[in-house]
Amino acid sequence: MEKQIREGIWETLKKIREEHPAVPSITSTVTQEFVANSQLAVGGSAAMIYLTDEGETVAKNFPAFYMNFGTVFPFYEESVPAILKALNENKTPFVLDPVGIGLGELRTILLSMAKDFKPAIIRGNASEIMALAKLWNLADTPRAKRTRFLESDDKVSAAKDSANALAKFTGGAVAVSGADDLIVGYFEDKLTDVVCPGGSELLTKITGAGCSLGGMMGICAAVAKPFIAALTATVIFNRAAEYAERDACGPGTFRAKFLDGLYKLTPDDVAFNSTRDFKLND
Amino acid sequence: MEKQIREGIWETLKKIREEHPAVPSITSTVTQEFVANSQLAVGGSAAMIYLTDEGETVAKNFPAFYMNFGTVFPFYEESVPAILKALNENKTPFVLDPVGIGLGELRTILLSMAKDFKPAIIRGNASEIMALAKLWNLADTPRAKRTRFLESDDKVSAAKDSANALAKFTGGAVAVSGADDLIVGYFEDKLTDVVCPGGSELLTKITGAGCSLGGMMGICAAVAKPFIAALTATVIFNRAAEYAERDACGPGTFRAKFLDGLYKLTPDDVAFNSTRDFKLND
Amino acid sequence: MEKQIREGIWETLKKIREEHPAVPSITSTVTQEFVANSQLAVGGSAAMIYLTDEGETVAKNFPAFYMNFGTVFPFYEESVPAILKALNENKTPFVLDPVGIGLGELRTILLSMAKDFKPAIIRGNASEIMALAKLWNLADTPRAKRTRFLESDDKVSAAKDSANALAKFTGGAVAVSGADDLIVGYFEDKLTDVVCPGGSELLTKITGAGCSLGGMMGICAAVAKPFIAALTATVIFNRAAEYAERDACGPGTFRAKFLDGLYKLTPDDVAFNSTRDFKLND
């Protein structure tokens, strides 16, 4: 199976470099620019939108969508439900990023509503994935009161059951980001999970690293099935971070070189020549 | 005529470096930071605003304005018409950037309305310029249904007639951005057009390159007439991109060095010592 | 006294590097990303919010808050008063950044209202500090009509009386940013002022330098009293700028290396080994 997975990663990145899929987002004003630059660097294209009819149009005309509620505007109450509906009607796969889950009523309403529209990929840190599974009544993980909202209070391994429950419910993929990333999803109709080591500690010192990963999962979802899309984005994300860390002097130069890495890494680099590689859990 | 144009470019950049004109914008949340940093790097100053009375105040107190609807908020329905009116009453020249034209009803309403206020400079890619000429009923270019909205489906040359029609209508300048940029506008009361080669392929791998160019045209429009303003911004933009490309490792380091280039290039570098120079079409 | 102040700076930075305090903000869409990256680089953590109940929640759960009205949305009319009230009820110290004071009615309403909630730290350039003291009827500084709004028309020294008046009123600290920064505030119940030289001219060529400083004052206010918090942020800000200037080629590379500097500078570097040091005014 590992061979087919590697070929899937290779083909996904190859297609992105040839087709440059454009994947719109509704995402945080803090990290929009970094998400767009990550999507462009990896070989795709970006378009950030806010309004209902913009969302309805892109849901019809674009191959995938990225939805992140890192910052929430009051008018999302009208636009987001309509956009979710349009994505569903057009069978446009979307990545859901439950960043900040638990903070504010409107974010909770929107994240609860997203359940009915079964995101192709759900990406978050361990605490976010556990909180989403709980919000969707798919698992009642006992957990400590969150105090930071935007960072994980839990280890990736702690979110394994929640990730499984979410993947079984959506039929797509779930990516738990952390020191080692966990990807759970269906590969050839079999629920599969992979652990992806690597990346860089400096990723925790720049804002929007997780959003960048989610945005790239959106690009990958334009040309691949959810599990391979989530895995491809995660592997190139980690390799680019390792590339950047090599001669970065700190988070500022790391951030610039990380985008360079996304741009320079080839399908072969990512699928076959990884220094620190993913592990299939059977 | 070329001699006077070169002198015009030189004087424009010289004035910017001496006077540091501050030019406010209403622009995309995705690229605001890059526009502001480009305006600062080239020698000017930035101020991003959203609200009606803010726009009315800056229209009165600032020498030029940059208007870009890359992202649209619902309240633009009230603020933008009032700001356009205030710019007009104060004879404050503004640059219009029809990015995303065709996506969403509100953007279309705002771009249609802008016709009555004759922007000093219109800047867009070929598809955007052709779509705007069509929206304003100045040319009926037959064209394919756009599927990407934020990228050009057309070559710069295809937008020549539309650019001419727009320039004749506004009496200002029109800049069509692409591999070779086309600037059409009035120089000493004569409709003139110039092709500007150069730049870098990496400009297509960072978000907001076009917005950065538009924002700098706003800075130039504070101290020069539309045609020279559009041309000066385009030439320094291309030279800075070439400077950055020389030792960039990818889009991340390119983006940082591009801002360095805008800051370091002198009026002589831009007006007289260009490696790849503009061509006057007679 | 200087010895205790140096120890205070050292302890503040030491605590930040150990505890990584997360400090939410309501701040400009233009500079959110740079503020968040500065807060992360110095050792803290960020969370940008917009909505009333988000603000009420973070006011309860986080140690400090940063409030900057660089860009103002219409809905701030409801959310900001509620957030100010929540900060006050929870005795959560906040940094107020009166950027753009005088531009637009809503910004003026919000800045006037902030008076009743006595910010722990007020940070701005000389013109902003003078304008705020005037708005709060604490000093009637005769001053020229502002024409740029986002830049200072006055020297730091000109704002000394206004800074003193504001510090006496709030009982906290006031930081006047400029070529040499002035910090006025209570140290061991004695109104004290310090001048901090250094920094870099390139700070005026990037957007959000002041916001970055304000955001870091928020991080410092999570672990230290206002005067030491304002001073610690100012000193590391200046040292990081000097570090960045050393091998920057312009504002783009400077911006990246500035974040590197914030990340690399140690408590010893900042508190005891400063090349250009602060001066206590007795």
> Closest to B36 (Cβ–Cβ): which among C30, C149, C253?
C30
Q: Which residues of A touch B70 (CB under 8 A)?
A: 48
Taking the mean position of all CA atoms in its chain, how far away is CA C259? 17
Neighbours of chain A (3+ CB pairs under 8 A): B, C
Nearest-neighbour CA in chain A from B251: distance (Å): 6
What confidence tens digit (pLDDT) does each residue in A73-113 have? 999 999 999 999 999 999 999 999 999 999 999 999 999 99
Q: Rounded to whole angstroms, how far apart are CA atoms B213 and B25?
A: 13
What confidence tens digit (pLDDT) does each residue in A137-152 have? 997 766 545 556 667 7
Nearest-neighbour CA in chain C from B262: distance (Å): 9
What pairs with residue C68 in β-bridges?
Answer: C97
Instruction: Tell me if C45 and A150 make a contact (CB, 8 A cut-off).
Output: yes
Average pLDDT over residues A226-250: 97
Does the structure show a pLDDT above 80 at A7?
yes
Q: pLDDT band for A169, please (50, 70, 90 cuts).
A: very high
What values do phi and psi take at C140, rounded to 5?
-110, 75
Give the pLDDT confidence score for residue B274 in this predicted structure: 72
Q: pLDDT band for B282, please (50, 70, 90 cuts).
A: low
Instruction: Tell me if B256 and A259 make a contact (CB, 8 A cut-off).
Output: no
Give the pLDDT confidence score for residue B142 in this predicted structure: 61
Instruction: Tell me if A264 and B251 make a contact (CB, 8 A cut-off).
Output: no
Query: Contact A219/A43 with Cβ under 8 angstroms?
Result: yes
Q: Rounded to whole angstroms, how far apart are CA atoms B6 and A90?
A: 53
Give the pLDDT confidence score for residue A147 in this predicted structure: 53
Helix (H) or strand (E) holding A177, with range, is strand A173-177
Sign of the dihedral through C-alpha A79, A85, A87, A93: positive
Q: pLDDT band for B273, please (50, 70, 90 cuts).
A: confident
Query: Contact C109/C98 with Cβ under 8 angstroms?
Result: no
Query: Contact B226/B93 with Cβ under 8 angstroms?
Result: yes
Instruction: Tell me if A22 and B100 make a contact (CB, 8 A cut-off).
Output: no
Query: Contact C280/C5 with Cβ under 8 angstroms?
Result: yes
Q: How far are the Cα atoms of A123, B174, B198, B236, B271 from residue B274, in angstroms, in the given order?
A: 48, 22, 10, 9, 7
Q: Which residues of C touch A28 (CB under 8 A)?
A: 48
Number of H helices and number of E strands within chain C? 11, 9
Q: Give residues with Cβ within 8 angstroms of B245, minimum separation 6.
A: B200, B201, B202, B254
Query: Contact C252/B37 with Cβ under 8 angstroms?
Result: yes
Query: Contact A221/A95 with Cβ under 8 angstroms?
Result: yes
- How many beta-carbon pairs below 8 A join chains A and C? 98
Q: Looking at B158-281, which runs of residues are DSSP E strands?
A: 173-177, 181-187, 190-196, 279-281
Q: Give residues with Cβ within 8 angstroms of A205, minimum separation 6.
A: A250, A251, A254, C40, C41, C263
Q: Give residues with Cβ within 8 angstroms of A142, minimum separation 6.
A: none
Nearest-neighbour CA in chain C from A61: distance (Å): 28
Sign of the dihedral through C-alpha C119, A149, C17, C48: negative
Give the pLDDT confidence score for residue A152 in this predicted structure: 74
Instruction: Tell me if A206 and C263 make a contact (CB, 8 A cut-off).
Output: no
Give the pLDDT confidence score for residue A65 in this predicted structure: 98
Instruction: Tell me if B255 and C253 make a contact (CB, 8 A cut-off).
Output: no
What confidence tens digit (pLDDT) does each residue in B47-68 have? 999 999 999 999 999 999 999 9
Does the structure show a pLDDT above 90 at B75?
yes
What pairs with residue B26 in β-bridges?
Answer: B67
In B, minimum Cα distance to A42 occurs at B205
Torsion angle defined by CA atoms of residues A18, A24, A28 and A31, in that order, rounded to the nearest 10 degrees:
20
Q: Rounded to whole angstroms, how far apart are CA atoms C100 and C131?
A: 10
Q: pLDDT band for C143, please (50, 70, 90 cuts).
A: low
Give the pLDDT confidence score for residue A88 in this predicted structure: 98
Does the structure show a pLDDT above 90 at C142?
no
Does the structure show a pLDDT above 80 at C146?
no
Q: What is the DSSP letter of C193?
A: E
> Closest to A259 (Cβ–Cβ): which among B74, B208, B252?
B252
Residue the block writes with tokens 């080839």: A266
- Token pair in block for residue A163: 């990730």
Does the structure show a pLDDT above 80 at B266?
yes
pTM of the model: 0.97
- Token pair in block for residue A121: 């990929």
> Closest to C47 (Cβ–Cβ): which among A150, A204, A208?
A150
Q: Rounded to whole angstroms, how far apart are CA atoms A67 and A212?
A: 12
> Closest to C256 (Cβ–Cβ): which among A34, A147, A252?
A252
Q: How far are the Cα atoms of B282, C122, C177, C251 from residue C144, in angstroms, in the given order?
A: 50, 22, 19, 30
Give the pLDDT confidence score for residue B243 in this predicted structure: 97
What confidence tens digit (pLDDT) does each residue in A177-225 have? 999 999 999 999 999 999 999 999 999 999 999 999 999 999 999 999 9
Does the structure show a pLDDT above 70 at A1?
yes
Instruction: Tell me if C31 and B33 make a contact (CB, 8 A cut-off).
Output: yes
Helix (H) or strand (E) holding A231, with range, is helix A226-246
Does the structure show a pLDDT above 60 at B196?
yes
Helix (H) or strand (E) holding B22, with range, is strand B22-26
What values do phi and psi take at C46, rounded to 5?
-120, 160
Long-range CB contacts (within 8 A, 24+) of A71-74: A71/A28, A71/A29, A71/A30, A71/C48, A71/C49, A71/C50, A72/A104, A72/A106, A72/A107, A72/A110, A72/C50, A72/C51, A72/C54, A73/B73, A73/C50, A73/C73, A73/C75, A74/A106, A74/C51, A74/C75
Q: Which residues of A touch B107 (CB under 8 A)?
A: 54
Q: What is the DSSP letter of B173?
A: E
Which one has a higher pLDDT value, C139 or C49? Answer: C49
In C, minimum Cα distance to A104 occurs at C54
Q: Rounded to whole angstroms, how far apart are CA atoms C111 and C70?
A: 11
Give the pLDDT confidence score for residue A77 in this predicted structure: 97
Q: What residues of A are in the C interface, CB distance below 8 Å? A: 28-31, 33-34, 70-74, 100, 103-107, 147-151, 204-208, 248-253, 255-256
Q: What is the DSSP string of C149-167?
A: SSS-SS-GGGGHHHHHHHH
Count Cβ atoms below 10 Å from residue C77 Cβ, excluding itself: 12
Q: Rounded to whole angstroms, how far apart are CA atoms B42 and B259?
A: 8
Percent of chain C with pLDDT over 90: 90
Best residue in A259, A262, A264 for a mutation probing chain B (most B CBs within 10 Å) = A259
Give the pLDDT confidence score for residue C74 in this predicted structure: 97
Q: Which residues of B touch A259 (CB under 8 A)?
A: 250-252, 255
Q: pLDDT band for C25, please (50, 70, 90 cuts).
A: very high
Percent of chain A with pLDDT over 90: 90
Q: Rounded to whole angstroms, how far apart are CA atoms B124 and B234?
A: 12
Nearest-neighbour CA in chain B from C5: distance (Å): 35
Q: What residues of C are in the A interface, CB distance below 8 Å? A: 22, 29, 32-33, 36-37, 40-41, 45-51, 53-54, 57-58, 61, 73, 75, 255-264
Q: Rounded to whole angstroms, how far apart are CA atoms C276 and C234?
A: 12
Q: What is the DSSP string of A39-97?
A: HHHTT-EEEE--SHHHHHHHHHHSS-EEEE-SS--TTHHHHHHHHHHHHHHTT--EEEE
Neighbours of chain C (3+ CB pairs under 8 A): A, B
Give the pLDDT confidence score for residue C147 in this predicted structure: 53
- Token pair in block for residue B19: 């006077």
What confidence tens digit (pLDDT) does each residue in A39-84 have? 999 999 999 999 999 999 999 999 999 999 999 999 999 999 999 9
Sign of the dihedral through C-alpha B209, B211, B216, B217: positive
